[in-house]
Structures are given as structure tokens and as C-alpha cells.
Structure 1
Amino acid sequence: MAAWDGVSEFVAVAETASFTAAAKRLRLSVAQISRQVAGLEARLQVKLFYRTTRRVTLTEAGGVYYRHCSHALEGLDDAERAVSDLQATPQGKIKLTAPITFGEERVMPLINDFMVLHPQLELECQLSNQLVDILADGYDLAIRLGHLQDSSMIARKLSGRRRYVCASPDYIDRFGAPHTLSELEQHHCLVGGAGYWRFIEAHKTRSVKVSGRMQCNSAYALVDAALKGLGLIQVPDYYVQDYIQQGRLLTVLDPYCEPEEGIWALYPFNRQLSPKIKMLVAYLAEHMAGV
């Protein structure tokens, strides 16, 4: 297996353009990555990378070697996945990421149920509202909300979400319900971190600056304030759908609500044949339907 020594490390550095990012992807130290790449260069008697304090780029020889090695590693991955396909039970580690609140509320309970069904699985999860680099950080799966920007991934729609403007019956009894966007300036709007709300008017997206007695970056705090009659809120449906069904919150400005946004599972092309990823995505799609 000496011919494979340093190849995975070399490919990771080539794809991330960084020894540090490659170390993070492979869960190794930067020193180990550097040592393996140096050993590979010594064995091949060729320089594979140009290194500066700011950038790591492939040499001409490195580019040729990368093209061959990347195909070879993909073939090895395909072989391992083909063997895994013979096993009825998904196993091994899944590394995934999801937005914090939606992950806590909707994703992780389903993931935990899936883990109970498949005890040979291991999980590494990062809940973050930052758009992580799926490939560079070595993620198998990412849950994303709304418009997708990364077209290099496979995307499967799991469900959808819609934003509603709501208020308590008590608030509407006291202040009335707005019927046009211009009327919002006459109301107490409970504001999130952005300071504006999004709507559709005349088939175009419109952002409306809102203000009121309260501004908070916690949707749960805003929902609680709305339930207590402090004002109007605009939040995704999964925060308020139970309260709407119970009549504790009433929706307003429904004709101006944006169309449903997608809730997506996003994963690299080389994960599409993985049984554990296929089964997990199918499980999430089944159980998130109607979220």
C-alpha cells in the first residue's frame, strides 16, 4: 500500500487549496498533512505545490497527478460504497450540518429517531447559521433553507416553509388588523435581527422596514411577545403553526406572503450512492412532509 501513502492528503490539499483545510477535512494535524505530502513529493521526485504565505496552488506536475489521483480515489470510494450496498444496515459516520433553530426543532429529533433505528451509525453534527463549505469541511449532508446558491451539490427538497405575519386576537381587538403594507407603520411590529420584513407585492419581492417596542434576534422571544399582545411578528410557519391552529395567533396580510421556500437536503455527488445517506435523506423527506 506504499503507493497510496500521502495520496489522500495530497488530493485534500489540492481540492481545498489549504493544508489547514485539508487537515480539518481528514481530521489530521497540519503537521501530518505536510509530512505526508513531503514524503509523496520525495518519492515522486517532483514538486506538487507552489506554497506562499497566502496560497497553495498546484504545479503543472501536481495538476497532472491530481487528475489521475482524484479518479483513483473516486474509484476506491465507489468500491467501498458498492460493498456497503450489499449490507442491509447503514453503518459508519455521518457528518451533517443544519441551521441552529430549525436543526434543534425539526432536524435533530428525526436524526435521533434514525439513529435509534440504525445503531451501527455514528453522527457528527454542527448546527450553524453560517453556510459552511460542504466539500472543504468534509460534510456528508447539509440541511439548507430557502434559495440554494451551491449548484455543485445534489439537492433534494424535503419540505417547505412559509413566513406569516401574526398577532394575538387581543392585539387585533385593540389595534385592528393591517390590510395593506403601508398600514404596518401604524402598528407595533416586533422586529427580528434584520429590521425589515419581506413580502410579495405586484409579483415582486418587497422589503418593508418595520419598527416597534421590541427588537430581538430570538424568534421564540418574539412569538412569546406576540402571544402576550405586544405586537405583530413575521416568522416561519414552524414557529407558529400550532398557535395558529389553536386560535392563539391570527394571520394578517396573507395576500402579501411570499411563496413557500424549500427545505433542502444537500450532499456531494460522491455521496449519492451511499446507502446511509440515501436512507437518511429518504427518512427526512418522509417525516418532514407537511412541516
Structure 2
Amino acid sequence: MRWQGVSEFVAVAEEGSFTAAADKLELSTAQVSRQISQLESRLGVKLLYRTTRTVTITQEGSVFYQHCRAVLDGLQHAENEVLNLQSKPQGKIKLTATVTYGEQVILPLINQFVHDYPDVEVEAYLTNKRVDIIEEGYDLAIRIGDLKDSTMMARKLSRRSNYVCASSDYINKFGAPHTLSELANHNCLLGTLDYWRFNVGDKEKSIKVSGSLRYNSGFGLAQAALQGIGIVQLPDYYTRTYLDSGQLVPLLEPFRIPEEGIWAVYPQNRFMSPKLRVLIDHFVANIE
């Protein structure tokens, strides 16, 4: 209610005519006149003197006009700023990713992104804990595997494979397992879980394993496997280079679980900001 009639009054004060003001605002002359009359009633003052030929602003109207003009200018500036934000990538993005994947893949791409878009500021927090995107104020999370939160939007960036592998030295000394039951006879190097996942008859099955090492570091486990200490199950971004070079040998391939998705997950929002859309596009274009 407080804003009703303000734009109409400013237009009449500037145009000097109800008809011209109505044309400028694309309203009827009667509607402009009615809105200003209601505004004067709310204020309890006369803003305009009307005759059949002229419209003159009162002293009170002149004071009110100066303040209203400043307010409308401020609103226009605010609208322009918002539209500008929507037209090009700028502002802050807060995201999270798992530690190793973030270090090896996501952070290098962010470095390239902020170089190309200097008006964007990125804050990245790497953790293997599953954070609450909404509660902790993240714009984006990089998630691997099955997505459980149906309230989020998601875009697939890539996929990963999990490999069971060991060095040739280990295999030469202890042999290679050919069935899942044979893992009980091997030194299986553990991460944070007590089991490994396999595909058995098109269904996923968890097999409990044990060994002489437990690290919460995939990099550390890969290095232990390279030294012939035991067998590991790790995602391909830990092992790809070593598998390609032959330093590690894949094992139990018939039981390898299907590839898992790597996702950009973000809160539902009807209007995605340009900065977030362009960053996700950048990930999609550059992640294998």
C-alpha cells in the first residue's frame, strides 16, 4: 500500500500531464489519477494542483518528489545490478568434494576456471564426510556413487571404476586370487571400511576382508600395493596410471562392480546463477 501511486505521481510531476504520464506508464489516465488521489489521501496532503489545462506540483509535492525520485533511482539501480549478476558469471561459489578426487581433478579445473572468470570467487572444502549442502551453505557438492538425496538437483560429470589390484611382486610371491573366497588367504589392505564390493550375478555383494594395513588414504594404500605389501580395492583415479604402466595388475575382473557416476549436486532452484551453470559446464567439458 505504501508504494501505490508513487510511480504515477513521479511520472506526472516529470511529464507535467496526467495523459503523458499514463502513456509513459502504459496505464489509463483514470488509473493514474485514481492512484495519485489515493496516495494524497494516505499522506493527508495535496501533492498536485489540477486544472483543466495544467498540473502544478505543490510545495509538499516537490519535497515528496525529490525523495521518491531518489527511491525509484535506487530501485532501478538495484534491478540493474541483479540483472547484471544474472547476465555474466560473478560472485562467490562455495563447494565441497572428496579429498583425493578434489585434489586431483576438481581443484585444477577450478584454477583454470577462476583464471578465465576473474569476477568469480571459489571457496572449496575437501572432505570425505558427507556434508549437508543446505545446512552448511554450499552451492555445489561433487558426489561419487549412488545419490540418496532426492531433493537435490544433479548433473553427471563422469564415472569411476573400482579396481582390485596388486603388484607383480606380490602376485609372484603369493599368487593371484581367482574367486572371492580366496581373498581370505591374502593380505587385503583396508581403507575406512571392513569390506570390499563386488558384482555377483548382477547383484552387488560385500565381502569382509582383512590385512596388515588400514589407511584412510587411498594414495597411501596405492603406494603400499606398489611396494608389494598386499592387495587393494581402489577407484581408478588412484590406480589408473599404475594399471596403464603395468606397475599394478587388475584382479578378480569378472567380479568388478559396474561404473559409478560422479555428480555435481546442487539445491533445487528455478533460476540457476550464471556462475554456477558455467562452472558445472566447465567440469562437464573437462572431466574424462
Structure 2 match to 1:6: none
Question: After TM superposition, where is structure 1 displaced by more than 3 Å over at least 4 residues in a row?
Answer: 78-83
* Cα distance per residue 1:6-53 (max 9 Å; x no partner): xxxxxxxxxxxxxxxxxxxxxxxxxxxxxxxxxxxxxxxxxxxxxxxx
- Mapped partners of 2:124, 2:259: distance in 1: 27
Q: Which residue of 2 aligns with 1:250?
A: 249
TM-score normalised to structure 1 length: 0.69
- Residue type of the partner of 1:112? N
**Deviation string for 1:72-95 (max 9, x for gaps)?**
xxxxxx9976543433xx111111
1:271–1:173 distance in 2 versus 1, CA, 3 Å: farther
| 1:96-124 deviation per Cα after TM superposition (whole angstroms, max 9, x unaligned) | 11112211221111111101111111112
Check if 1:86 corresponds to 2:90.
Answer: no
The TM-score normalised by the length of structure 2 is 0.69
Residue 136 of structure 2 aligns to a residue whose secondary structure is coil
Shift of 1:273: 2.6
C-alpha contact 1:81 1:274 (8 A) present in aligned 2: no
Question: What's the offset of the Cα at 1:136?
Answer: 2.3
Closer/same/farther in 2, CA of residues 205 and 272 from structure 1, 3 Å limit:
farther
Give 1:40-189 correspondences, 5 Å limit: 82-87=83-88, 90-189=89-188
Question: Helix, strand or coil for the counterpart of 2:191?
Answer: coil
Distance of aligned partners of 1:79 and 1:251 in 2 relative to their CA distance in 1, 3 Å threshold: farther
Give the aligned partner of residue 214 of structure 2: 215
CA contact (8 A) 1:140 1:267 kept: yes
Where do 5+ consecutive residues of structure 2 fail to align?
4-78
Aligned to 2:258: 259
Assess if the C-alpha contact under 8 Å between 2:87 and 2:274 holds in 1: no
Query: How far has the Cα of 1:189 moved from its partner?
Result: 1.1
Supply the distance in 2 between the matched residues of 1:79 and 1:270 (Cα, whole angstroms): 21
Asked if 1 retains the 8 angstrom alpha-carbon contact of 2:199 and 2:256, the reply is yes
What is the CA–CA distance in structure 1 between the aligned matches of 2:82 and 2:275, rounded to whole Å?
10
Unaligned runs of 5+ in 1: 4-77
Give the Cα–Cα distance (whole angstroms) in 1 for the partners of residues 201 and 86 of structure 2.
51
| Kept after mapping to 1: 8 A contact 2:114/2:120 | yes
Letter of the structure 1 residue corresponding to residue 188 of structure 2: C
User: Is contact 1:161–1:261 with CA below 8 Å preserved after alignment?
Assistant: yes
Amino acid at match of 2:104: E
Does the aligned pair in 2 maintain the 1:190–1:231 contact within 8 Å? yes
Max Rg structure? 2
Output the CA distance in 2 between the equivalents of 1:187 and 1:279.
47
Alignment partner, residue 70 of structure 2: none
Cα separation, 2, equivalents of 1:211 and 1:229: 16
Report the secondary structure of 2:269's partner residue: helix
Supply the AA of the counterpart residue of 1:265. A
Give the paired residue count: 213
Identity %: 51
Structure 1 counterpart SS, 2:102: helix
Compared CA separation, residues 263 and 80, structure 1 to 2 (3 A): farther
Preserved contact between residue 158 and residue 264 of structure 1 (Cα < 8 Å): yes
What amino acid is aligned across from residue 125 of structure 2 in structure 1? Q
